[in-house]
Amino acid sequence: MTARTARKRLQPAERRVLILEEALRLFASRHFSVVTVRDIALVCDINVGLLYHYFENKDDLVRRALGHAIEQLVAGYEERRAAGAEPLAEILAWLDIHMELAPTLALMVKLMSDYASSGLRDAELDALIAGFYGREQQLLEGALARGVASGAFAPVDIARTARRIGLMLDGIFHASASRGDDRIVADIADLADFVRELLAVRGLPAA
């Protein structure tokens, strides 16, 4: 008789992250509306009661799973963005962290897309998604404004250019899903080259 492999004992914080990551994967690989709390507990190898110790219900899990992915993205960006960095470096840091976290972000985008088309509305989830896109717009606008003001970038419509970069970034993830390819990282690298060309990056004037 084969002995059952002992389950690794996780600290509460580690178990919470495990639940969030598995929940995001299930919500994206199926449709969040059909995934049950029991499904998530099963893939995490825990009982349903323990899962409710960490999260109120499935709606709470959807919000927290999406929020966890967004937190990873923002934290990764802040780590890459050095204080006082040049405007171009800030924009490229945003694109770079999308390349680094591409597998997680592909799940995040799928969940947001499914939610948007579901007809369901959740005020907290709506605020979370709006806050994410608002922050992206703000950081891109800020970097663009500093680049234009310093003469490093060609003059552009700052708000429209920031939105276009965000839309192209989103489009890469959606295109990968619809085409069934694996070009997210390569396409974001191409987007970075396009951004350089779009801004006609000249570098700061000599002192």
* φ and ψ at residue 59, rounded to 5 degrees: -60, -40
Is the pLDDT at 204 greater than 50? The verdict is: no
For residue range 117-163, what is the model confidence (pLDDT) as tens digits? 999 999 999 999 999 999 999 999 999 999 999 999 999 999 999 99
If pLDDT is split at 50, 70 and 90, which confidence band does 203 have? low
Neighbours of 74 (CB within 10 A): 15
DSSP conformational letter for 31:
T
Three-state secondary structure along 106-173?
A: HHHHHHHHHHHHHCCCCHHHHHHHHHHHHHHHHHHHHHHHHHHHHCCCCCCCHHHHHHHHHHHHHHHH
What pLDDT score was predicted for residue 8? 62
What CA–CA distance (Å, rounded) separates 79 from 85? 12
Contact 70, 108 (CB under 8 A): yes
Mean pLDDT across the stretch 29-56? Answer: 93
What pLDDT score was predicted for residue 80? 87
Residue of 82 and 116 predicted with greater confidence: 116
Closest C-alpha among 24, 121, 140, 160 to residue 77? 140
Contact 140, 194 (CB under 8 A): no
Is the pLDDT at 4 greater than 80? The verdict is: no
What CA–CA distance (Å, rounded) separates 177 from 2? 41
Mean pLDDT across the stretch 73-84? Answer: 86
Mean pLDDT of the chain: 91
If pLDDT is split at 50, 70 and 90, which confidence band does 3 have? very low
CA quadruple 137, 141, 144, 150: dihedral, nearest 10: -160
